[in-house]
Amino acid sequence: MPIVDFSVDKPRRSNRGTPIELPEPGTVAWRLAVAYGSEGGFEALWSAFLEAVDPAAVRGLVLGPWWIQDYTPVSEALSRIVADADRFPALEGLFIADVSSEDCEISWLEMSDVTPVLKAFPRLTDLVVRGGNGLRLEPFRHERLTHLRFETGGLPGRVVRGITASELPALESLELWFGVDEYGGDATIDDVAPLLAGTRLPALRHLGLQNSEFQDEIAAAVAHAPVVAQLSTLSLSMGVLSDEGATALLDGQPLTHLKSLDLHHHYLSEAMQERVREALPGVDVDLSDAEEEDEDEWRYVEVSE
């Protein structure tokens, strides 16, 4: 679905004074972004959007920068969206914090509890959340959610535990970017364990456990995880995967049923990369972005700050 930017400052009339026709509300995802220094902030933007676009037909919303100057928490903007949830009966996709590093680094984004959003939109199928600072998620049940992704430079363990304690019978794809402890990424392999048991998410077909400082531990756990048998695609990318983790992965259960295995941004030796390819001849394996330890033997995840 194409994305259309909507802002208070965007012209609504042409140079000739005629109204500029907007696309049909349900044919695009609407990206709402507060321009730096604009008056009224998100409240003014939201009110203008509801006046210009029929919310009953909107299927996709993308929340860009919501602050005027300081990096304020997203809670006020989410509260406004939740308050008007009944006006969006067709909403299926929501991206919270589609913010580039030019506007704010991912780990500087001030997040909040996103549970009310999931409870307010029972027809939601796709949710993406970017940023982990202050992020919270309580256990919930959602009948229609099929795709869930958390992009962070530091994923709080409480969020992972919130997911594992939730009931998501339709969830087909789950991606978690763990990040680093310095930016609040305190999740552990014990937090991930319930996901790997294969009992909580019956419809899961894609699992991404990514961007982690404990990527070798994840690989070793995945090697014997019951959930792998139901997957079509698996991503252990963006982290500090080494030969140790790759060896554990290959020495575990067969992975030849997978359509793809994403390991990009890794620390595997050339010999280990070749071993992975030979072991999985029918699997589309992504081994791009091979990294090297620096002289102090430091390894870095792909996304932190």
Tell me, rounded to whole angstroms, the distance of Cα 124 from its chain centroid: 15
> pTM of this prediction?
0.93
Nearest C-alpha neighbor of 60 from the set 32, 33, 79: 32
Q: What does the pLDDT profile of the chain (305 residues) look like in tens digits?
A: 899 998 766 544 434 444 567 889 888 999 999 987 777 789 999 999 999 999 999 999 999 999 987 778 999 999 999 999 999 999 999 999 999 999 999 999 999 999 999 999 999 999 999 999 999 999 999 999 999 999 999 999 999 999 999 999 999 999 999 999 999 999 999 999 999 998 989 999 999 999 999 999 999 999 999 999 999 999 999 999 999 999 999 999 999 999 999 999 999 999 999 999 999 999 999 999 999 876 556 899 999 98
Nearest C-alpha neighbor of 226 from the set 207, 206, 253: 253
* Residue 216 φ then ψ, to 5°: -65, -40
Q: From CA 157, how far away is CA 195, in angstroms rounded?
A: 13
Beta carbons within 10 angstroms of residue 209's beta carbon:
29
